[in-house]
Amino acid sequence: MSQQLRQYSASIEQSAWQLTEKTPLLCQLEHTIPNFGNAIFQSKASKALNLHFELDMLRLPDAYSLAEVLSMPPAWRAGEPGKNVASMALLKQFNGELPKKTAWTLLTELEQGYSPTFYFADWYSPYDNVAAALNPVKFPPGYQAFTECVAGLLPYSFEDIAFTVLSYESGSDQLTKESQRRLSQIAEYLKHDPQIEAIELQGYTDSYGGRWMNEQLSVKRAEAIKQFLAEAGVANEKVQVEGFGERRHVASNQTSLGRATNRRVVLQMARQ
C-alpha cells in the first residue's frame, strides 16, 4: 500500500506572524501551523549575532528520524522545483531545531514568498508521511518587527556579566572608567531580566593603609555598588555585601599594577 501525504499549513485567513517576545534580551517570532504546532524564530542578547529555529510540535516524535526541509515555490511559480534547504534531526520526545545559518535561510525564503516545508515519515502511522509548511502570507510585517527587535538586543548576555570584577582608583571608592562602563551595562541588563535571584558583592583592597581601614573601605566600595544597583531597580534583599579588606590578594602588592588588581569588587549573579 502506498503511503499518503498528510499536510498541515495555515490557510490564508489563518496565517499570522507574531512577535511574541520583544525585549533587549530576547526577540521571538512565531507562526502557528494549525493542528500541528508552532514555528519559532528566536534571537537573544549576545556578543555575536545569533538565531535559533524550533519546530514546537503538538505530538513529539516517538523515535529518531530525519525531516527533509524544502523551500516550496508560490503558486504563481508553478512547475519550479522545491529547494533542498537542510535535514533536521527529529529526536525522541524533542522538538525539531535548526542552527543559525539554516534559520536565516528560512527567513530569507519566507521573505521571497516561498514556503519552507518539513517532510517526514509519521511516527504514529505506518501509512502516512507528513508535510508541515510555513505560510509566507502576512510574513513581511512580522519579519520587519523581528529584525528591528534584533537590532536593539543588548550586545552581551547573562553569561558575559554574571561574574564581573570591578576595579577602583587608589584609596577611594571611585571605580575606574572601564569599570564604570561595565557597571552601567550590568544595570541595563538587570532592568530587563526578572529572573535574577541573587547578587553577591565582595569588596577587597590592596595592602596600603591599616587593616581595619582597609576592611571598612572594602565594605564601602561594595555598598556603593549595592546603592547603584538599587537605583537601577534591584531589590535590596537580592544583594548581599561582604568586605574582606586586604585579605585574599590575587596579585603582588609590591607593584602598582598588582595593587590596582587587588582593589576590586567581585560581582556574582545567580539566575533562576
Provide the pLDDT for residue 149.
98
For the chain, the residue count is 272
C-alpha cell at 194: 526578572
**Beta-ladder partners of 129:** 5, 121
C-alpha cell at 217: 573601605
Taking the C-alpha atoms of residue 115 and residue 145, their distance in angstroms, rounded to an integer, is 20
Which amino acid, residue 33?
I
- Please list the rounded mean pLDDT of every run of 10 residues in the chain (272 residues): 85 97 97 98 96 96 93 87 95 95 98 97 90 97 97 96 89 84 94 93 82 86 92 92 79 69 90 88
Taking the C-alpha atoms of residue 260 and residue 270, their distance in angstroms, rounded to an integer, is 27
Taking the C-alpha atoms of residue 223 and residue 239, their distance in angstroms, rounded to an integer, is 10
C-alpha cell at 15: 496565517
Indicate the DSSP class of residue 203: E
Integer CA distances (angstroms), 75 to 113, 130, 160, in order? 10, 20, 47
Integer CA distances (angstroms), 250 to 30, 71, 164, 205, 260, in order? 48, 56, 15, 10, 10
Provide the pLDDT for residue 257.
73
Provide the pLDDT for residue 249.
72
Which amino acid, residue 47?
K
Name the residue among 200, 199, 188, 203 with its Cα closest to residue 263: 203
